[in-house]
Structures are given as structure tokens and as C-alpha cells.
Amino acid sequence: MSPETPQKAAVLAVDGGNSKTDLALIGRDGSLIASTRAPGSSHQRVGIGGAIGAIHKGIAELRQLTGIPDSEPIAEIGVFCLAGHDLHVDQMLLRNTLRGERLTDELLTYNDTLAVLWAGSPARWGIGVAAGTGLNCVGIAPDGAQLRFPALGLISGDWVAGGRWLGVRALGQAVRARDGRGPRTSLEDAVPAYYQLADPMAVAEAVYTKQIEERQLLWLAPTVFEQAALGDEVSRDLLDQMADEVVTYVRATAQNLALSDLEVPVVLGGGLFRAGDQPFVDRVRAGILQVAPRALIQMLAAPPVLGAALHGVSELDLGPEAAARATAAFSYATDASDEFERPRAAT
């Protein structure tokens, strides 16, 4: 390696969700060297090839930004916090595939809920809730005991599962309102208006014929928040169901890990919490305090990729100053993108 060749970073931090993948390179002093965003990378949705391809796209952009050559590992340690890192079979598939790519000298893989917890809890224990495209929760007790949910959809009891669920239910409620099976709701006009179609059933038919991909119903989540804020009771009821499910996850986690009576950090992260709907947030807070009265509840103030970065800093024992410098480098003020980013015309 010539003296002019850039040195590899200390940490490659990756937060791979269903809708996007955030990547960041951190120096040994904790400084942010470079960051980028690639498409969502869940292997459950795009297959292992698609998931690794999204990660490779992001790493290629980081190499271009930094000049670190393809022939060198890009960092000393890679911390990959990934959606779909659920069952043991998922963990082994992702871990073994990524290790075979030799992207970093050392490589660690985790579920993306841990990125939320680590980003918001300096104590590195507590409860983290990720409420974005999907919904999941992780808990770590002070003694290191851990609990997480499988997040396999209806077959694992995930009745109310994040922004995509919200979009699917919004369309269903709009159809039922128009044909008389359900209560009237402003969604019956707002949903087809978003897709520039005539009525709710036209949207349903477009989904059925795959003119609109079902996963794109995620883009209706902001519409539900908008209509709830305008006073639509059906939209508000959907958000109440989501808030109550968040509380259910936190309650089960706190009870199973004996955290209910502690000053347990509870970190709320993801696009649903960033939507700015105060009644939704207030309902979540009130519900959590009923099941864990001493909980220290906070809204995540930085992208979850920070959690992956801080875990890498800790694993390399780079010290508190490096951790503080890394923390200062990330905030939603410098990353204002919407998790539910959507085009106006989806057909």
C-alpha cells in the first residue's frame, strides 16, 4: 500500500431496514469519515442476493467517497444491524454470507432493533422499539439477558405490524367505507387521491393485478397520520391500535426481563414516531408508564446507524471520547429524509 492510499476506517456501521440501508464509516477517534444510503436490504423481501447487493452498493459509494480501494477491507470491524436477522437460520445465512465477502477484518451481525436501543441508551441496556416499515422490540437487562420477538408476521403473532400494516388497513377501511361494510372515513377519498385513481376499489384492483406492489402501500402511512390530524376517527383508531401494540411489546419485554420496576431506558425509534403526531406519542408514553412506571422514555434523536457505530466503537475499545465524537456526528437535523419516502404517483 502506497503512502497516498487512504487507510481503512475503524468501524463500518450498517443499519439495514426494509425501506433503506444507512452506512457510515467511523475513524479511530470517533469522527464520521463518510456516510451514504442504499436501498432497503431485508433478505426476506429481496432475497439474500438482493440484500447483499444493496449493502455492496452502499460500500461501493463509501469507497468512492473515501478512496479506500476494493483490494482492502474497508474497516477494522463491521457492525451490521439488519432487518430480517430474526431466527437462527436467518442469522447464520446473513452472518456466513457477509463473512464470505470479507468486507471488514472483523464482522458482527445483529437485528436492527439493537441499533435503535444502542443509539438511544448510553447505558447499553433497556428496551428499544423500532416502528417503521415493520414493528419490533428488543430488551437487554442489566445482567445482559436479552429478549426479542421473531417478527415473522401473522404466524408469529404480529397482528399490528408497522407502517406497511397501516397502509394495508387504510386501503381496506377505505374500501369498506365506500361499499357500506364499514364506517365512513375520509380515507375513502384520500387513499385513491394519493394514487390518482377513481375510488378505493380501483386501488385494490391495482394491487391485485400488481400494477401497485403491495409493499408500496407503506406509502399510505403518512396519509393516515394526515387524516387523523384532520379529525378522521377511523384513521385515529388505526393509530391507537398501533400505539397500543407498541405498549404490548414493551410490557411483554419488561415483564420477561424483570424490568418493570426499574428506571429502564425505553428508546422509541422509526418513522412512525417521527411523524409528529402528538396524540400517538402521548398514548404510547402513557401506556408504557402504566406497565413500567419508572421508565425513562425517549424519542430517538439520531438515525439508528449511530447505534451500530457506537457498538463498533465499544468493541474496539476506542474510549468515551470517540463515542462522544461519533454521537455528535449523527442527528436527524442532518438526516431529514422520510422513512416513508414516496412518489406522488405510484401507478
Predicted confidence (pLDDT) per residue in 120-133, tens digit: 998 899 999 999 88
Q: Rounded distance, CA 80 to CA 315, Å? A: 13
Residue 158 pLDDT: 85
Q: What stretch(es) of the chain map to CATH 3.30.420.40?
A: 9-122+302-329, 126-157+239-299
Provide CATH code, domain 126-157+239-299: 3.30.420.40
Which pLDDT band, with edges at 50, 70 and 90, does 4 fall under?
Answer: low
Decide: pTM greater than 0.85. yes
* Reported confidence tier of residue 48, pLDDT bands at 50, 70, 90: confident
Which position has the grid cell 412518489?
343
Q: How far apart are alpha carbons 85 and 112 in whole angstroms? A: 8
Q: What is the CA radius of gyration of the chain?
A: 21
Residue 174 banded pLDDT, cuts 50, 70, 90: very high
| 208 CB neighbour count, 10 Å cutoff | 11
CATH code of 9-122+302-329, in short, is 3.30.420.40
Residue 274 pLDDT exceeds 60: yes
Q: Which three cell numbers stand for residue 52?
A: 447483499
Digit-coded pLDDT (tens) for 217-240:
999 999 999 999 999 999 999 999
The alpha-helical segments, DSSP class H, found in 180-277 are 187-195, 200-208, 221-229, 233-256
What is the per-residue pLDDT across 51-61, written as a single tens digit (0 to 9) for each? Answer: 788 888 999 99
What are the residues facing 311 on neighbouring strands? none
Expressed in percent and rounded to 5, the helix, strand and coil fractions of the chain are: 45, 20, 35
Report whether pLDDT(256) > 70. yes
Query: Does position 339 have pLDDT exceeding 70, yes or no?
Result: no
Can you tell me the mean pLDDT for 179-208? 97
- CB-based contact 119:79 (threshold 8 Å): no
User: pLDDT tens across 143-169, in order?
Assistant: 999 999 988 888 888 888 889 999 999
- Work out the pLDDT band at 194, boundaries 50, 70, 90: very high
Q: What average pLDDT does this structure show over 50-76?
A: 89
pLDDT at position 331 over 80: no
1 pLDDT exceeds 50? no
Instruction: Dig out the grid coordinates for 232 from the structure.
Output: 378522521
> Per-residue pLDDT for 50 more than 80?
no
Strand partners, 32: 26
